[in-house]
Structure 1
Amino acid sequence: MKALIFIILISISSCKTENIEKSISGNFTGMNGEFSITLDSIDSDGKSFKIDSIRVINNSFEFKNLRSKKTKKYQIKVISDSLKRTISYITIWFENEDVFIDGLLNKENTYFDTIKVKGGKLNEIQAGFSNIMQKHGDEFERKLALPENKGKGDSLFKKLVKLIEIDQINFIYLKPNNEISLENIIRLSSQISNDSLELYYNLLDSNLKSSKNGEILFEQKKLDKLKVGDYIQNFTARDLNNKEIAISKFKGKIILLDFWASWCMPCHEQNQKEFSKIYEKFKDENLVIISYSLDKKDAKEKWKEASKKDNITWVNISNLKGFNDPISRQYNISSIPNSFLINQKGIIVKSFKDYNPDNEVIESEILKLIK
């Protein structure tokens, strides 16, 4: 009988523990004016769903009565009434314990100078990634202000991005077995060898391996990553009319393969000013331009609108998988625009990152292949 009573008491205690209601709250120092806070849930595809919305009172807010047996990813949107826009998006992880956000706004209340999220191991890990960016960002600002670095902003920024990537990759291997590191290694996988991806994958527990991101990583670690001098491999994607197009269709032609997206401003400028010019000049010279959109499935209409705005009359395809697209990973795409020039034999001869309106290097390289 005593044993039975003990089991019942343990069961009641366990139920109470699971049903304890938690909260997500915060305090924003320096906040002037009226603000509201929206709480969105983020699913495994990165889509957001509104959960609740409240007003900020005396610089503070609190979402109460939260409870979940599973870890959940949320996004907090801080919305200014006077500016009529969101001034900050704050990603948080809820592990069925209280989460507190401590923020300091700038004088104009247009952004946060600092944000700290406390509560749960995942928020600590996320802070580790943020601290890496903050450290290198501060150093970038310091170097940019030096007289000897005047006019060197672009080169300094590229070095900044590389240093952040190196430190974040090292941090991932220090803290491997969690959702945040898994998300980030997928984001950075184009910079990591397949052997290292395999090593990381083997550090994951069974739950993470069977998750959607775990399955994405499993496929990515098997991809043969392409570089200048390699033969391209055939792939298929669909155009805006849902027609499937294979790159092998253009065998024997010069191919300019460009990765872009509807949200990328430099991509629009390059489409409108450089690629349109190249298309008109070389369309009868055995050259085909292929624009490969890295928009996601829920942004198909934006892809369509951007294509019309940029007057893309050449081949325009996508699998609508964003940067997680296996084709994007195979070509090591970490930023856009990023283009590849492929000769008549199907060999990648040049890679072009970013867009420089004063540089006509793509056209000059095409001329070499035509002659």
Structure 2
Amino acid sequence: MSRTIKFAQAGGPEVLEFVETQVRAPAPHEVRIKVKAIGINRAESMWRLNDYIEPVKFPAGLGYEAAGIVDAIGSEVTGFGVGDEVNLIPSFSMNDYGTYGEVIIAPEHAVVKHPKSLSYAEAASVWMMFVTAYGALIEDAKIGEGDYVIIPAASSSVGLAAIQIANYAGATPIALTRTSGKRQQLLDAGAKHVIATEETDLVKEVMRITDGKGARIAFDPVGGPTLTKLLSALSFNGTAYIYGALSPETTALPVLDMIAKMTSVKAHNIWVTSGDETRRKAAVEYVLTGLESGALKPVIDREFTFDEMVDAHRYLEQNGQFGKIVVTV
């Protein structure tokens, strides 16, 4: 028997319930895992609210990331064995699988070997943040030396991953934060420049930093009115990747300005990378190499216990964290 977290209706953190279940044997291409740690993501909060990129089928489970130990394998699984330490990379629908449980079932394609240098909590934190940023910045934008990258919501886990990946690629990360309260933390995390958007003119400051040329890339999870400013801060032929909608306000596009500067807005999500076997393997190799070299590092804001999952979701929705929230099991 295993405790698993489910919810029967959309709502706040209080709709999450502990359910005692008998975890089935894995199907031929599945793995059963005893969970040691769970990474908590904004996507799961949106899923709980039934406000995500696909509709929820109730009663529902949730969770994209976990680290743990293989408990059983399906008859056709060849890459893993019982007792292996493993992680899950987000590459499945939460209507089909979830990680919020003491023992879980996962598809074989989503399972990766556990990086030996990381704790379970650290390993549960890295895959969503680094693969999401990798997909836009490395796989698609191919950032490198001489590029400036604007990173809104820079203190989020994906924002911090984008800072690290920009530095790893030789580009210059420009971190955005609302006030100066997290300026030093962001500089310590690798940001070359930090702009407090409620205290400074965003466009003017980016133009000052880039000698009037603008940044080639913006990597934005917010949308709303700030997107117009981001587009104005881009260089000719610059691109804004939008991978979230944290702003509740309308996201408008300055079409004539975009035409004049030939700027682009591209929607982005992790599935572009993790949903394709070749791309997923390349991303995993990139992240593992970065972790081994020290160029990429997990950033954990706070740990909760499994019994505190509701509190973990409440904390997530306060939007005050610096890095990843992790739940230990």
Please state which band the TM-score falls in when normalised by the shorter chain: under 0.3
Larger radius of gyration: 1
Q: Which structure's relative contact order is higher, taking Cα pairs within 8 Å and 6+ residues apart?
A: 2
Normalising to structure 1: TM-score of the pair? 0.25
Normalising to structure 2: TM-score of the pair? 0.27
Whichever structure has more helix as a proportion of its residues is 1
